[in-house]
């Protein structure tokens, strides 16, 4: 079976840096997998995700999505299929509902049907946010609640791959546990392909991840 995402001999350096971030880095992600990439801070975990969705440009090797080089794809097309959720949730000064529906205002998504209030309320419950109303001001939510809203927003667009950048790094233990439970459910029960970077000691209870360590500019299976 053809991998959903292929990274071959990836090389990347920051301008004027003496040591490259990556050198001959390889990775295969199959459809329906939960892939964890662990490693110390500063090893390039977040950079790898940004290269996959073309928020930065790589220098050597290639990144293929469904056998297509990502640089051959229109960015809007690529980012419909591969959605990146940043470490710090991007929340606007508006209601929870407005934040969830914000991507549907983009030209590239205007052919998509906006989810109903009923669907949004069902998702709030699934994401342990049943006490939050759609008209609640999102900026007044805790960081953990905002992170879950950001995850909901990404999933409403039904991406083929979800890229999660340290989704629990700023959360307390209870909020982090909620987010990890949601991620496991998305993968194990819904078959969502997820690539997540983390430096935590997280071990899934209800999913079977493929785990890699990023060190010495390469990935190795843990």
For residue 140, the enclosing domain spans 5-221
pLDDT value of position 84? 95
Q: What is the rounded CA–CA span in Å between residue 214 and residue 37?
A: 7
- Name the domain count of the chain: 1
Average pLDDT over residues 7-11: 96
For 73-77, the CB contacts below 8 A with 24+ separation are 76/106, 76/107, 76/108, 77/108
What pLDDT is recorded for position 10? 95
Q: What percent of the chain has pLDDT over 70?
A: 100
The pLDDT value given to residue 175: 87
Rounded to two decimals, the pTM is 0.93
Each residue of 48-92: pLDDT tens digit?
A: 999 999 999 998 999 999 999 999 999 888 988 999 999 888 999
- Cα separation, 5 vs 27, whole angstroms: 8
The 3-state DSSP composition of the chain as helix, strand, coil percent (nearest 5) reads 35, 25, 40
Three-state SS at 66: coil
Indicate which CATH number applies to the domain containing 173: 3.40.50.300
For residue 107, pLDDT over 90 is answered with: no
Please give the pLDDT value at position 15. Answer: 79
Range in 98-107, 144-153, 195-204, 210-219 with the lowest mean pLDDT? 195-204
- pLDDT, position 48: 96
Q: In 3-state terms, what secondary structure has residue 222?
A: coil
The pLDDT confidence band at residue 1, using thresholds 50, 70 and 90, is confident
Average pLDDT taken over every residue of the chain: 92
Tokens of 96: 């929870």
Residue 110 is predicted with a pLDDT of 76
Residue 28 has a pLDDT of: 97
Question: How distant is the alpha carbon of residue 193 from its chain centre?
Answer: 10
Is a pLDDT exceeding 80 seen at residue 108? no
């Amino acid at each position: 079976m053809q991998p959903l995402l292929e990274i071959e001999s990836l090389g990347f350096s920051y301008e004027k840096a003496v040591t490259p971030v990556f050198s001959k880095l390889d990775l295969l992600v199959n459809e329906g997998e939960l892939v964890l990439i662990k490693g110390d801070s500063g090893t390039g975990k977040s950079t790898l995700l940004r290269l996959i969705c073309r928020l930065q440009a790589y220098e050597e090797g290639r990144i293929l999505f469904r056998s297509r080089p990502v640089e051959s794809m229109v960015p809007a097309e690529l980012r419909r299929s591969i959605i990146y959720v940043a470490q710090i949730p991007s929340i606007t000064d508006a209601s929870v509902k407005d934040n969830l529906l914000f991507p549907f205002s983009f030209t590239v998504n205007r052919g998509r049907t906006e989810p109903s209030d009923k669907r949004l309320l069902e998702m709030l419950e699934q994401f342990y946010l049943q006490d939050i109303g759609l008209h609640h001001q999102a900026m007044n939510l805790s960081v953990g609640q905002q992170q879950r809203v950001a995850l909901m927003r990404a999933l409403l667009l039904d991406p083929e791959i979800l890229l999660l950048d340290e989704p629990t790094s700023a959360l307390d233990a209870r909020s982090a546990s909620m987010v990890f439970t949601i991620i496991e459910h998305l993968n194990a029960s819904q078959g969502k392909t997820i690539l997540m970077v983390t430096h935590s000691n997280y071990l899934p209870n209800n999913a079977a991840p493929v785990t890699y360590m990023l060190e010495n500019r390469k990935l190795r299976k843990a």
